Amino acid sequence: MTNQAVEPVVLCGGDLGLSVENGASVYRVGRTFSPFHLRYLARALDAFPSPRVIFIQYVPHAFGLRNMNLPFVFWLAWRACVRRDRLIVLFHEVAFPFQKGPVRHRVLSIIQQCMANLLVAVAYRILVTTTAWLPRLRGVSGRSVITLPVFSNLPESVDAQLLEQCRQRWLQRTRAQNLVAHFGTYGSGISDLLLATINQLPDSIVATTAFLLIGRRAGAWLQQSKVLLGERAARCHVVDATDALALATTLAACDVALQPYPDGITTRRTTAMSALVLGVPLVSNDGLLTDPCWRADQPCAVLAARPNGATLAAALGEVLQRPLADRKAAGEHGRQWYTLHASRARAATVVKQIVAECLHS
């Protein structure tokens, strides 16, 4: 957005005042989003002339008060109805699902759903990061809702020479013929699928493959999984780099990215997008929340039919056995899909158009 005609101003928690980050003005004035500190955000907003447009990337767990900050949502509604600010709400998440379990989880679900319902009622425009959220947003029927896939949180391109050097370094270090990446935070659901997939692979594939584990807690997960992985643990390697460019280069150097999700791949998965934009053939799985575009457009090299280790292992093995030209073609198809539907440029264009509509309507 900093390259667009509209200048964005970021208001967020903290008490450091004004700074410039990535070309955008950032006001850390709210300290927290608690009712007491909302006055600081209000003061900062009121310093700008009307009409004001407030863009909210909504994740209910991000606003404090034990993930149930109903006062913050009431304050946003007041800004929309009384101060006449235009709210654009991008639902990255909606609410904790209502299901069997502790009473506190049910209370959390009910309050978060009320928060989402109120935002839908007062928002000028609504966006979602995945179509899976539409059934959970009450009151959107008949309204125009834009699906805006998340973009990669890694660089969208890497230097070809650095990429080749990185690839050769890993091939020599691991004595492998193929490099398979997994990028994530190693939460229980995803890491269980990752473990099952590696263990279901044929010995012939494991013997020639190195699994590069990228992301926070990769080392801890590997340490915890060594007993269950057995001899296959030696084929798994933690990528120590923390620099975004180094991580992107390592990911781009791989033959395949293995990104399983218990609820199915969706357009809100930044880890999947990071592989697509770099042209790495992606192996993932269908599931309860999977968007139709993953089946219709086929940005994945293979979309396994369901989230289980045997199915994912078969999909990964099939991709690894393809000729190099076919793998590159699959990666390029995924990259083109990302550019068209999920890139930073596409997100900036969509948001700019909506902001212009808010300002001139």
- Tell me the per-residue pLDDT of 98-111, one tens digit each, with 9 for 90 and over: 988 899 999 999 99
Q: What is the dihedral of CA 134, 140, 143, 144, to 10 degrees?
A: -30
DSSP 27-53: EE--SSSSGGGHHHHHHHHHTSPSS-E
Q: How confident is the model at residue 344 (pLDDT cuts 50, 70, 90)?
A: very high
> Which SS3 state, helix, strand or coil, does residue 321 take?
coil
In this structure, the strands spanning 24-28 and 17-21 are antiparallel
DSSP 292-315: HHHHHT--SSEEESSSSHHHHHHH
Q: Which phi and psi angles does 282 have, rounded to 5°?
A: -110, 130
Q: Which helix (H) or strand (E) holds 28?
A: strand 24-28
pLDDT given for residue 260 in this prediction: 99
Q: How confident is the model at residue 53 (pLDDT cuts 50, 70, 90)?
A: very high
Q: Which two tokens stand for residue 163?
A: 């990429």
Q: Which domains does the chain have, with CATH numbers?
A: 9-149+344-360 (3.40.50), 160-341 (3.40.50.2000)
- Spatial distance between the Cα atoms of 310 and 164, rounded to a whole number of angstroms: 32
Contact 30, 40 (CB under 8 A): yes
Q: Which phi and psi angles does 181 have, rounded to 5°?
A: -100, 145
**221-225 long-range CB contacts below 8 Å, 24 or more apart?**
221/186, 221/191, 225/191, 225/195
Q: Which two tokens stand for residue 60?
A: 């209910």
| DSSP bridge pairs for 210 | 179
Contact 96, 105 (CB under 8 A): yes
| DSSP bridge pairs for 182 | 213
CA 126 to chain centre: 18
Helix axis angle, 244-252 relative to 160-174, nearest 10°? 70
Q: Side by side, which strands form the sheet with 236-238?
A: 236-238, 209-214, 178-183, 256-258, 282-285, 302-304
| DSSP bridge pairs for 86 | 53
Q: Find the distance separating the first CA and the last CA of the chain, reported in whole Å.
A: 21
Q: Which two tokens stand for residue 149?
A: 């896939």
The pTM score is 0.93
Write the DSSP symbol of residue 142. Answer: T
Contact 331, 322 (CB under 8 A): no
Res 16 pLDDT > 80: no
Contact 265, 287 (CB under 8 A): yes
- Spatial distance between the Cα atoms of 291 and 346, rounded to a whole number of angstroms: 18
- The pLDDT of 217-237, averaged and rounded, is 98
Residue 226's identity, in one-letter code, is: K
CB neighbours of 107 closer than 8 A, spacing ≥ 6? 68
Give residue-wise pLDDT tens across range 234-257.
999 999 988 999 999 999 999 999
| DSSP bridge pairs for 55 | 88
Give residue-wise pLDDT tens across range 140-190.
878 899 999 999 999 999 999 999 999 999 999 999 999 999 999 999 999
Res 338 pLDDT > 70: yes
> Which SS3 state, helix, strand or coil, does residue 144 take?
coil
Write the DSSP symbol of residue 3. Answer: T
Q: How confident is the model at residue 4 (pLDDT cuts 50, 70, 90)?
A: low
